[in-house]
Amino acid sequence: MIKEGLAGLSRARLAAFTSIFSLFLAVLLIGVLARIGFNAYEVSQLLREQVEVEVFLDNIDSQSTNELRRSIESTHFVEELTYISKDSASKVFQQEFGMGGEALADLNFLPASFRLRMSDEASVAQVDSVAQSFGNLNGVDEVRFNLALLQLLETRTDQLAMGGAALGAFILLIAMILVFNTIRLTIYAKRDLIRAMKLVGATNGFIRRPFLVEGIVQGLIAGSAAAGLIYLLFDWFIPQNISQLGVLSWPFGRWYFLIGGVVVLAMIMGWMGSRWAARKFIKNSSVYN
């Protein structure tokens, strides 16, 4: 089975080369998109974490402040709460406005507040709903957060994910069609042998296996070449020549997750294309009459 699968690569060399090269380009683009998309997602999450909900308090005593704090901390989606006293708020004001803010900072007119970091799992609508509910609590003067920035981040992240998924699916479909055509040509070249095997009782499954092996081997060759190029591109070429992009991180912190995924994806696509062709054209001997 393995011998026949490997021999099939040499029977239609041009078609096999085209199929392997197409798979190579497909998984290469998918790998690059995955690397860039992962880092874009990380940047959006970092920006999202920097958008804090600020709850400004009325002039309430420490007991009321503690009760309000416990109430807010127990609210769903509140990840972290930091209390900013009036004195601390004045110091922050002075640091942000420099020497020009000293006179105003001494007036101690800034209110105490809670700075909240919301959960990454919360959508913009959920954050907005929670923030509005805080405005109805006793002792709360005002609630502020950058709703427009959160909405923009969520919209751009969704658009990036949908666009990348659509482009990746299109590229993989084209590559799988080319594998399909390659295996179809190989089946046609062996039509007399397949007819003879059927006459002596060979099952369709037995006949299909070498073609499945051929598709997997094509995927293995294409995936290995693409994985090697991706590793060299992101681990050597870009850090050496484009230092600004050298900070791009590997998905999940290790190079082998993406590299292994590229190889496995190419093998799966090769198997799917060959299985598609084998099931379609190896049905009965009359196809080749």
State both tokens at 63. 């007991």
| Domains, the chain, ordered by start | 2-46+152-288 (no CATH), 52-145 (3.30.70.3040)
10 Å Cβ neighbour count for 235? 14
Q: pLDDT per residue over 45-75, tens digit each?
A: 777 777 788 888 888 888 888 889 888 888 8
Q: How much is the pLDDT for 95?
A: 65
The residues that bridge with 48 in the sheet, in sequence order, are none
**Distance between CA 127 and CA 78 in Å, rounded?**
9
Statement: residue 149 has pLDDT above 60? yes
User: Regarding predicted confidence, which is higher, 80 or 284?
Assistant: 80
* pLDDT at position 221: 93
CB atoms within 10 A of CB 262: 26
pLDDT at 98 over 60: no
Contact criterion met (CB below 8 Å) for 8 and 211: yes
Q: State the pLDDT at residue 90.
A: 67
Q: Which residue has the higher pLDDT, 105 or 155?
A: 155
Are 273 and 179 spatial neighbours (Cβ–Cβ below 8 Å)? yes
Is residue 250 within 8 A of residue 35, CB to CB? The reply is yes
3-state class of 142 per DSSP? strand
Split at pLDDT 50, 70, 90, the class of 255 is: confident
Instruction: Tell me which of 220 and 243 has the higher pLDDT.
Output: 220
